[in-house]
């Protein structure tokens, strides 16, 4: 039997690899399945909390690429982590055996400037009490593994835009998981752009509940051939 590749995990904005994947049980499960894992952090988060030098979108892409193993990989990304992994997979289409992206959809193609401003204000300490999303990001960035200044620097940098043409370069099977209450949706344009997509709708799930959703965890492990043999 061919040995399966390591699984790369990449978190979203204002959290960390440990909080997203460790605290929600992902790492224990894939380890039980005898899969090796590599949990990466984005500048301003977790192990990269004080990395100002790479706190632009383009430099973050380069940072993540440099940390990847030389051989083929599987990968799971949530939100910003999913956006980054899709960019890398478009650049290096033979790098990935399988890819899972969650919490992304139409937001990859059109940017909500008002939402971005609200999130930046929340990170800066100017959250809106009546706005649950604003309050959520404010609470996240009060964690000890987050550097607010580096986060804001990253958010203010130009994003490398994904286009259907770029996404059409991705050769591997891609599982797109999106909650039916997620502001990032719909996933239609993303699915249509990918050559080999699989779609998982998470019923009753919003953006922030996605990483701990049992159906997302179960289907991802099945997709990546990483189910524990209990």
Q: For residue 1, what pLDDT band results from cuts at 50, 70 and 90? A: very low
Q: Return the minimum-mean-pLDDT range out of 34-43, 110-119, 209-218.
A: 110-119
Q: For residue 104, what pLDDT band results from cuts at 50, 70 and 90? A: very high
The whole-number average pLDDT for the span 136-157 is 88
Query: Per-residue pLDDT for 2 more than 80?
Result: no
Query: Per-residue pLDDT for 15 more than 90?
Result: yes
Interstrand relation of 37-40 and 73-78 (parallel, antiparallel or unpaired): unpaired
* Residue-wise pLDDT tens digits, 64-89: 999 999 999 999 999 999 999 999 99
Average pLDDT, the chain: 94
CATH class of the structural domain 7-110+158-223 = alpha beta
Angle at 87 between CA 83 and CA 137, to 5 degrees: 20
Distance separating alpha carbons of residues 50 and 57, to the nearest angstrom: 16
Q: What's the longest Cα–Cα distance across the chain? A: 55
Q: Return the minimum-mean-pLDDT range out of 120-124, 165-169, 223-227.
A: 120-124
Q: What is the DSSP string of 122-160?
A: HHHT---TT-HHHHHHHHHTTSTTB-HHHHHHHHHSPP-
* Residue-wise pLDDT tens digits, 111-137: 877 877 888 888 877 777 777 777 878
């Amino acid at each position: 039997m061919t040995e399966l590749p390591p699984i790369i995990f990449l978190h979203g904005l204002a959290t960390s690899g440990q909080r997203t994947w460790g605290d929600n049980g992902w790492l224990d499960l894939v380890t039980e399945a005898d899969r090796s894992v590599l949990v990466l952090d984005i500048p301003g988060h977790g192990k990269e909390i004080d990395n100002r030098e790479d706190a632009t979108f383009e430099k973050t892409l380069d940072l993540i690429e440099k940390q990847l193993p030389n051989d083929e990989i599987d990968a799971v990304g949530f939100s910003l982590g999913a956006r980054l992994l899709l960019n890398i997979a478009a650049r290096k289409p033979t790098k990935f055996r399988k890819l899972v992206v969650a919490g992304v959809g139409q937001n990859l193609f059109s940017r909500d400037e008002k939402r971005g401003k609200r999130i930046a204000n929340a990170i800066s300490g100017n959250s809106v009490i009546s706005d649950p999303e604003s309050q959520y990001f404010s609470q996240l960035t009060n964690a000890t593994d987050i550097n607010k200044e580096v986060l804001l620097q990253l958010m203010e940098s130009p994003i490398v835009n994904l286009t259907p043409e770029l996404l059409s370069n991705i050769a591997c099977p891609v599982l797109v998981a999106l909650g039916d209450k997620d502001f990032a949706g719909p996933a239609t344009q993303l699915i249509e752009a990918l050559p080999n997509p699989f779609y998982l709708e998470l019923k009753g799930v919003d953006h922030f509940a996605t990483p701990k959703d049992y159906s997302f965890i179960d289907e991802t492990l099945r997709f990546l051939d990483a189910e524990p043999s209990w």
